[in-house]
Amino acid sequence: MRSRRIGFKLPKIPSSEITSESAYLCRREFMKAGSLLFAGGLVSGGSIPAFSSVSGSEVALPEGWALGSSDALTPYEDVTSYNNFYEFGMDKSDPARYAHELTLSPWQVQIEGEVEQPRTINLEDILAATQEEERIYRLRCVEAWSMVIPWNGFSLAEFIRWLKPTSKAKYVYFETAYRRKEMRGTRSFSSVIDWPYREGLRLDEALNPLAFMATGLYGKPLPAQNGAPLRLVVPWKYGFKSIKSIVKIRFTETQPKTSWQGIAPHEYGFYANVNPDVDHPRWSQRYERRLPSSLWNPNRIPTQLFNGYGEFVADLYKGMNLARYY
Ligand code: MTE
């Protein structure tokens, strides 16, 4: 994987040296030992940052928030075997079983809409234009399970600035690949999604420094079941916003239609911010099950507003009724 280090840097162990889960866990212990690893007073009180950057970033990253004591990294095996990727089936184990059928190379992303230069870009060119970073984020699914995942990738804000949207752009729309031959879930008669899978963000949300484009996890290339080769990660929103295997990005003036809104608009809103006070009709959002969990060890923890990232994102929703704009 690329590993360039520019600007301020955080941990002393570069991601290129981190190749295994045990190395990550080791490093996490190292991080736990104190804030000394984090230059520039990024972390207060010996805590662990909510996200970290190995390579640094040109985008100003917010400072000071910590992962909680219950935020141990979810083991690689769980992150890559318990997935939602309906293009490959409805069962949690289907993506790990079938996603390898997706051809990942060559991969291109079509850029269209309100942008200076609509074009189709090779993934390699996107990677060459952006800085690789590592971010450790909680991922909270609307089904009330959650994980803590060390991602590799690049800042969405940095990517968008490189793409140069016009002043008319107010939203960003994302689309997943739709290949019936390679995605057996899209051929299923029981599938409820009107393919391709679609998602969107308000432009200011997309420009928030926390929004991330993942190309890897645990220092390894992104497994197909996790959305290879390129997926969105929006840690303060329910997981369904974090669209996988992206082939199209469109800048729009109006709010784009998303897949889940199309299926059940009363259940899934455009914003989908993690919020323990706004329940989904089928899942209370008050608590979540931090994976791995079992009948004997349910690992139930209280859900936090904006998944605990409110300090960095609450301003985006100032004055908005979060129960109405769910
Ligand atoms: N993206 C696509 N294209 N198709 C999907 O079915 N599922 C979403 C999201 N992105 C989904 C998707 C949901 S519901 C969740 S919770 C996360 O992916 C799960 O990501 P993970 O499997 O990497 O944990």
Average pLDDT score over residue span 35-57: 33
pLDDT band at 131 (very low <50, low <70, confident <90, very high): very high
Question: Domains of the chain (ranges plus CATH)?
Answer: 15-317 (3.90.420.10)
Q: Which atom of ligand 1 is nearest to the CA of 225?
A: 22
- Nearest Cα neighbor of 27 from 55, 60, 54 is 54
* Binding site membership of 74 for ligand 1 (Cβ less than 6 Å): no
Average pLDDT score over residue span 59-73: 64
Cis peptide bond N-terminal to 106, omega within 30:
yes
* Binding site membership of 160 for ligand 1 (Cβ less than 6 Å): no
CA atoms of 119 and 123, how far apart (whole Å): 12
* Chain segment 201-257, per-residue pLDDT in tens: 999 999 999 999 999 999 999 999 999 999 999 999 999 999 999 999 999 999 999
* Binding site membership of 260 for ligand 1 (Cβ less than 6 Å): no
CA atoms of 199 and 258, how far apart (whole Å): 5
Enter the tokens of residue 276: 């323990």
Task: Report yes or no: 287 and 303 within 8 Å, Cβ to Cβ.
Answer: yes
Per-residue pLDDT for 83 more than 50? yes
Rg (CA), the chain: 19
The reported pLDDT for the residue numbered 282 is 87
The reported pLDDT for the residue numbered 42 is 26
How distant is the alpha carbon of residue 228 from its chain centre? 12
Q: State which of 242, 245, 267 you would mutate to test the pocket of ligand 1, scoring each by most atoms of that ligand within 8 A of its C-beta.
A: 242
**pTM of the predicted model, to two decimals?**
0.85
* Binding site membership of 52 for ligand 1 (Cβ less than 6 Å): no
Tally of CA atoms within 13 A in the half-sphere of 43 that contains its CB = 23
